[in-house]
Amino acid sequence: MSSRIRELRRSRGLTLGQVSKQTGLSVAMLSQVERGQSDPSLESLRRLAEALRIPLFDLFRTEGPEPVAVIRHDERRLVSTPHRHLTYSQVSRSGGKVEVLEGTLDPGAASSESPRTHISEECVLVLEGSLIVELEAIDYALDAGDSCHFDSALPHRFLNPHPEKARFIVSVTPPSN
């Protein structure tokens, strides 16, 4: 991933200083990430993907998309928050027109500190537990088997105020930054 970030930054003609200004991450931190000396948090990866204008999981891609991709459960790419309260595993291939992620959200956790926006559509399907989809400050309660499809340009995030872990699938098209 570290060499991919450097390659993407350079291909866009961006300096570490420019990426630092766009992401709010220090030049030193960015340099360490590019050299493989630091593992960025999920939030840092989101900021980098936004600055580089690519979907988050494309940071991990090494080649163009395969015409057929079988992703084994134990070989999925994972990203998580520092304390692992939120974990996403990539179910779909990188570089495709749709991104499918399996997420787990711990009790009392949220997918982000504040609602986020991006230019996509999302559909979330709760597999286990319960989840709140917060859209423009309105809460939509979902139980196992329920889904919610929405325009990702609306400020949104996922919340789990319940005592058990929530497991869900999120499909995003086009893949988000």
Q: Tell me: the pLDDT tens digits for 2-45? A: 678 888 888 888 889 999 999 999 989 898 888 888 878 888 88
pLDDT at 60: 76
Residue 174, preceding peptide bond in cis (omega within 30° of 0) = yes
Domain boundaries, the chain: 2-53, 73-173
Q: What is the pLDDT of residues 122-152, one digit of tens each?
A: 999 999 999 999 999 999 999 999 999 999 9
Q: Which CATH superfamily is domain 73-173 in?
A: Jelly Rolls (2.60.120.10)
pLDDT higher than threshold 80 for residue 1: no
According to CATH, the topology of domain 2-53 is 434 Repressor (Amino-terminal Domain) (1.10.260)
According to the model, what pLDDT value does residue 66 have?
65
Strand order across the beta sheet in which 138-143 lies: 138-143, 130-135, 156-159
pTM above 0.75, yes or no: no
Strand-pair partners of 110: 159
Reading phi first (left if > 0) and then psi (alpha if -120 to 50, else beta), residue 58 is in alpha
What percent of the chain is modeled with pLDDT above 90? 46
